[in-house]
Chains A and B, each alone.
Chain A
Amino acid sequence: AQKVTQAQTEISVVEKEDVTLDCVYETRDTTYYLFWYKQPPSGELVFLIRRNSFDEQNEISGRYSWNFQKSTSSFNFTITASQVVDSAVYFCALSEPNQGGKLIFGQGTELSVKP
């Protein structure tokens, strides 16, 4: 069965610290897609990244980076030099082919960045 686990419910850091949000997934398919979404206090869901199962190359986008490791079924997200505006709930999600666009979300990690 598909499952996404974000074991960290809440993380609190001080501005400029680096922080890593963990995501572990379960799937029986060899082809699948992984996502990260940000949900700021205003409530909307903001797409951050999509990664397919055949592409294990890590990605960096500004202060954000993602580490995808199939061997451990993990897709972790690191924010470097965190800022107060990074405070939000972050969701990891999984999708499989032929699932009609269904995303399976993790429980979310609430990140609080304090000045």
Chain B
Amino acid sequence: EPEVTQTPSHQVTQMGQEVILRCVPISNHLYFYWYRQILGQKVEFLVSFYNNEISEKSEIFDDQFSVERPDGSNFTLKIRSTKLEDSAMYFCASSDRRTNTGELFFGEGSRLTVL
């Protein structure tokens, strides 16, 4: 069964460092998303991406965050200068249609620990 894959599974970084989280969405999907989950809390929407541009972003997704689809397979989330409060599990997701009518497939997540 096709799946969304994310790397790394766990990254530890120092505050102020740049981090790139990588995702390979399901190959025929067109809509891509990043969500995050701070430990023990609910899953929060960060950003959606379609046709090589951001469709929507949340208040969390400030100038420190950026997303990119550098080639036909990868979808990345970059945090320019990490803060302690960026420590969370980051989930990538993809869909072949807008979420309303399509199933959102999530990856297994990348756990980011900022020290």
Hey, which bits of chain A sit against chain B, CB under 8 A? 33, 35, 37, 42-47, 50, 52, 91, 93, 95-97, 99-108
- The reply to whether B98 and A101 form a contact with Cβ atoms under 8 Å apart is yes
- The reply to whether B42 and A108 form a contact with Cβ atoms under 8 Å apart is yes
Stretch at the interface among B18-26, B77-85, B105-113: B105-113
Identify the closest chain A residue to B109 (Cβ).
Answer: A43
Partner of B104 from A42, A96, A101, A104 at Cβ < 8 Å = A101
- The reply to whether A97 and B108 form a contact with Cβ atoms under 8 Å apart is no
In the bound complex, residues from chain A placing their C-beta under 8 Å from that of B28 are: none
In the bound complex, residues from chain B placing their C-beta under 8 Å from that of A104 are: 45
17 A–B contacts, CB within 8 A, in A order: A35-B104, A37-B106, A43-B111, A44-B107, A45-B93, A45-B106, A47-B105, A97-B100, A99-B56, A100-B98, A101-B33, A101-B56, A101-B95, A103-B45, A103-B99, A105-B42, A108-B43
In the bound complex, residues from chain A placing their C-beta under 8 Å from that of B42 are: 91, 105-108
- The reply to whether B89 and A47 form a contact with Cβ atoms under 8 Å apart is no
B44 interface residue (CB < 8 Å to A): yes
Hey, which bits of chain B sit against chain A, CB under 8 A? 31, 33, 35, 41-45, 48, 50, 55-56, 58, 89, 91, 93, 95, 98-100, 103-109, 111
Q: How far is the CA of A104 from the CA of B41 in the complex (A)?
A: 13
Q: How far is the CA of A91 from the CA of B103 in the complex (A)?
A: 15
Q: How far is the CA of A45 from the CA of B35 in the complex (A)?
A: 11
- The reply to whether B108 and A101 form a contact with Cβ atoms under 8 Å apart is no
- The reply to whether B48 and A47 form a contact with Cβ atoms under 8 Å apart is no
